[in-house]
Chain A
Amino acid sequence: MGLARTLAVRAATLVVLLFIVLFVISFALAGPASKILKDEIMMETKSIIMNLMLHGHYNSTQIQQLQTQIMTELESAYGLNKPPAIRTLYIMYNMIVFNWGYSYFPSEYGNVGGGKVVDIILSALPGTILLDTFGILLSAFIGIEIGLRSALKYGSKSDRAVMYYAALANGIPQWWLGIVMLLIFSFYLAQMHSPISFPTGGIISPKYYELWLTDPVKVFTIPQAVLDLLWHFTLPLITVLIINIGSWAYFARTVVLNISQEDFVTFAKIKGLPENHVVNRYILRPAAPSILTSIFITIPFIIFGGFLVTEMVFHWWGLGYVYNIAIVGSPTPDLPVVVALTYASTLLYIVIIFIMEIVYIMLDPRLRE
């Protein structure tokens, strides 16, 4: 009874928060971005007029009229003639029903799906899952293992080594490490005419590019393509691992250190239970909620932050890279893509948080009352 209520309240809170975030984003983009939209409309109008002039004969007054007419039409189509509040709601509504529209600059994304934002995002999703999600999960796996071993040997040399490694890993910008990796393993290896060198970027070689963007699953059925993918995947993955294993190790170490001081751990030892039994049932089990929830939280957060830039450095076709193109790489910000991506990530985050809350309650009986 209490459980269902708690979850319901939490779900409601999260949904409200999602709305507010969506509102803020939509408003922020609807308001100040209107100037950009106007420029956009101006450009579109000009190109339409240009097209018309090529195929027909108009005199200057007619052109003027046409121009104003087209501009007004476009403005109303983009909702510019309405006040910002309405526009905001308009954007919000479209986001929620997954009507994400078309990108302003489809060519930047290889014309995937004819410029449909949904298709663009979907095409970038596998890349992000591969590098970011898998990368983080693998790092978490390895890191937690290391952190655990380290905490059990608190104060020893290996423990201290892990601590320093974690400090370094947290302080080094991931994208910079990526640049250094590329410098060493791509540039210099190629310079020295080494037989093995790594690509300068990209997620897959151009010949498989089309296939990857439209039907990535098919790529996995072609052995050479898979090898090619792995070859491109090596440097980015190693970069991600080096940086992230450290954080997870330190985190797990801290959690375990905290829990090992608990009275019930001491009592487990008093009961004469063997070491690994104590570790598993009295340290890991109670630590599981915090560790698992951290993993859960990290997954959606990944395109927010260092990974965005990392994807950029490696030209890795993922959500972060797309985001970067949309905001910085395009002549003017590609608003449909930007809003859709931010919304999608926040939505994903909320869903995952909610799942995580359920898992947490399942793992910690104290929260069930």
Chain B
Amino acid sequence: MSMVLLDVRNVKLYYTTTKGIVKAVDNISFELDEGETLAIVGESGSGKSTLAKLLVRVWERNVSLVDGEIYLEGKEILHMPEEEFRREIRWKRIAMVPQASMNALNPVIKIGDQMTEPLLLQGTGKDEALKMAMDALESVGLPRDLVNRYPHQLSGGMKQRVIIAMSIMAHPKVVILDEPTSALDVITQANIMNLLKKLKWEYKLSYIFITHDLSLASELADSVAIMYAGKLVEIGGAEDIYTNPSHPYTQGLISSVPTLRTDKTLSFIPGEVPSLINPPSGCRFHPRCPFYKDRDYLKGLCDEKEPPMVELEGKASRKHLVACWLYK
């Protein structure tokens, strides 16, 4: 039984806009064990990037509510004083590789300097830090002399690798990867995925892998959490999710993945992602849910009451939970 590394309980993050309050993350809970890779899957607009930012406590100016608890190795970190969090946790224990890393590098500072920054500020010697940077570059498959280059001299894929290299330099416990490959071509994508696998073994990392691509997630994930409209609708071991998708949304996602070998009619989920300002009442998925349309006994239930998380039978060690009135 692995140790629970990260315990996220009932977290919420709302922010204000001129159109209203956006409930980007609305009461989400999950656990991450040591050495586990959790994939958080959802469409764009589901709030998954906001969740990532929530975990490292770096969010927009217009945030209006942050609630819930996060325990890292038993210690609560969401309400910890900012300076303490910055010194102890951020990047040192939890690191994040942001989405669209192309622009995450400072254009006027050399790569090497940007890589060694966190270490130098913690007291590591200049030479030692530089060596660590070059080692990190090597482990992500980049030339060591890249430390002397500027970001604009690198390709998108190289920049992505640099960011990944930076994230492991501090030996964090948890690395959050927010769509690490969406902006890249397929070949580079495959390379990066392999790299991530390798690093995971080498450095014993725990990943939170955020993506919209279910099939991509399946390459790396031990567990999968499905997010919809700011809420977690299903979570469980990868096996269970892929072989027994229980939430109608998950089922829709899986059946919309094209397969090469079998002859499957491509289906898609009709409708569009709901607004996070005025989400549908009750279960947020009900307007698009085929079961809701079909079964009359669900009317008055799915459209009015939010379904609680229910445990299902599963093969994996991680509990298989789903939030759907079908299973109550």
Give Cα A325 to B205, complex, Å. 77
Q: How far is the CB of A295 from chain B (nearest CB, A)?
A: 18
Give Cα A52 to B194, complex, Å. 103
Q: For B92, what are the chain A residues with a Cβ–Cβ distance below 8 Å?
A: 272
The answer to whether B108 and A363 have CB atoms under 8 Å apart is yes
B90 is an interface residue with CB less than 8 A from chain A: yes
A57 is an interface residue with CB less than 8 A from chain B: no
Q: For B328, what are the chain A residues with a Cβ–Cβ distance below 8 Å?
A: none
Q: For B106, what are the chain A residues with a Cβ–Cβ distance below 8 Å?
A: 264, 268, 281-282, 285-286
Residue of A with least CB distance to B56: A270
B76-94 interface bits toward A, Cβ cutoff 8 Å, 1 = contact, 0 = none:
0000000000110111100
Q: For A369, what are the chain B residues with a Cβ–Cβ distance below 8 Å?
A: 152
B326 is an interface residue with CB less than 8 A from chain A: no
Given that A270-B90, A271-B91, A272-B86 are contacting pairs, would A366 and B107 also be in contact in the complex, using a CB cutoff of 8 Å? yes
Q: For A269, what are the chain B residues with a Cβ–Cβ distance below 8 Å?
A: 58
Give Cα A369 to B150, complex, Å. 11
Give Cα A132 to B271, complex, Å. 64
A-B contact count (CB 8 A): 70
A234 is an interface residue with CB less than 8 A from chain B: no
The answer to whether A267 and B104 have CB atoms under 8 Å apart is yes
The answer to whether A277 and B58 have CB atoms under 8 Å apart is no
Q: How many residues of B contact A (CB 8 A)?
A: 28
Residue of B with least CB distance to A282: B106
The answer to whether B107 and A264 have CB atoms under 8 Å apart is yes
Residue of A with least CB distance to B176: A270
The answer to whether A270 and B86 have CB atoms under 8 Å apart is no
A-facing residues in B134-168 (Cβ within 8 Å): 150, 152, 163, 166
Q: For B152, what are the chain A residues with a Cβ–Cβ distance below 8 Å?
A: 365-366, 369
Give Cα A155 to B60, complex, Å. 13
Q: Which of A267, A273, A285, A286 is the one whose CB lies under 8 Å from B98?
A: A267
The answer to whether A271 and B107 have CB atoms under 8 Å apart is no
A154 is an interface residue with CB less than 8 A from chain B: yes
Give Cα A266 to B163, complex, Å. 13
The answer to whether A264 and B150 have CB atoms under 8 Å apart is no
Given that A365-B150, A366-B152 are contacting pairs, would A271 and B117 also be in contact in the complex, using a CB cutoff of 8 Å? yes
Residue of B with least CB distance to A269: B58
B252 is an interface residue with CB less than 8 A from chain A: no
Give Cα A366 to B166, complex, Å. 22
The answer to whether B98 and A266 have CB atoms under 8 Å apart is yes
Give Cα A299 to B18, complex, Å. 41
Q: How many residues of A contact B (CB 8 A)?
A: 24
The answer to whether A154 and B109 have CB atoms under 8 Å apart is no
Most buried by B among A262, A263, A277, A366: A263
Give Cα A269 to B89, complex, Å. 12
B118 is an interface residue with CB less than 8 A from chain A: yes
B187 is an interface residue with CB less than 8 A from chain A: no
The answer to whether A365 and B107 have CB atoms under 8 Å apart is yes
B-facing residues in A250-303 (Cβ within 8 Å): 262-264, 266-274, 277, 281-282, 285-286
The answer to whether A281 and B109 have CB atoms under 8 Å apart is yes
Give Cα A363 to B106, complex, Å. 13
Q: For A285, what are the chain B residues with a Cβ–Cβ distance below 8 Å?
A: 106, 108-109
Residue of B with least CB distance to A262: B103
Residue of A with least CB distance to B86: A272
Most buried by A among B61, B89, B106: B106
Most buried by A among B104, B108, B166: B108
B96 is an interface residue with CB less than 8 A from chain A: yes
B-facing residues in A218-274 (Cβ within 8 Å): 262-264, 266-274
Q: For A39, what are the chain B residues with a Cβ–Cβ distance below 8 Å?
A: none
Give Cα A369 to B90, complex, Å. 36
B260 is an interface residue with CB less than 8 A from chain A: no
A332-369 interface bits toward B, Cβ cutoff 8 Å, 1 = contact, 0 = none:
00000000000000000000000000000001111001
The answer to whether A274 and B121 have CB atoms under 8 Å apart is yes
Give Cα A267 to B87, complex, Å. 16
A-facing residues in B105-127 (Cβ within 8 Å): 105-109, 117-118, 121
Q: How far is the CB of B79 from chain A (nearest CB, A)?
A: 18
Give Cα A174 to B92, complex, Å. 53
B100 is an interface residue with CB less than 8 A from chain A: yes
Q: For A262, what are the chain B residues with a Cβ–Cβ distance below 8 Å?
A: 103
The answer to whether B108 and A271 have CB atoms under 8 Å apart is no
Pairs across A and B, CB under 8 Å, 25 listed:
A154-B61, A155-B61, A264-B104, A264-B106, A264-B107, A266-B98, A267-B101, A267-B104, A270-B56, A270-B90, A271-B90, A271-B118, A272-B86, A272-B87, A272-B118, A274-B86, A274-B121, A281-B109, A285-B108, A285-B109, A363-B108, A364-B108, A365-B152, A366-B152, A369-B152
Given contacts A264-B103, A270-B56, 8 further A-B contacts (CB under 8 A): A263-B100, A267-B101, A273-B117, A273-B118, A286-B108, A363-B108, A365-B152, A366-B108
10 cross-chain pairs, A with B, having the tightest CB-CB distances, nearest first = A272-B91, A272-B90, A263-B103, A267-B104, A365-B150, A264-B106, A366-B152, A269-B58, A271-B91, A263-B104
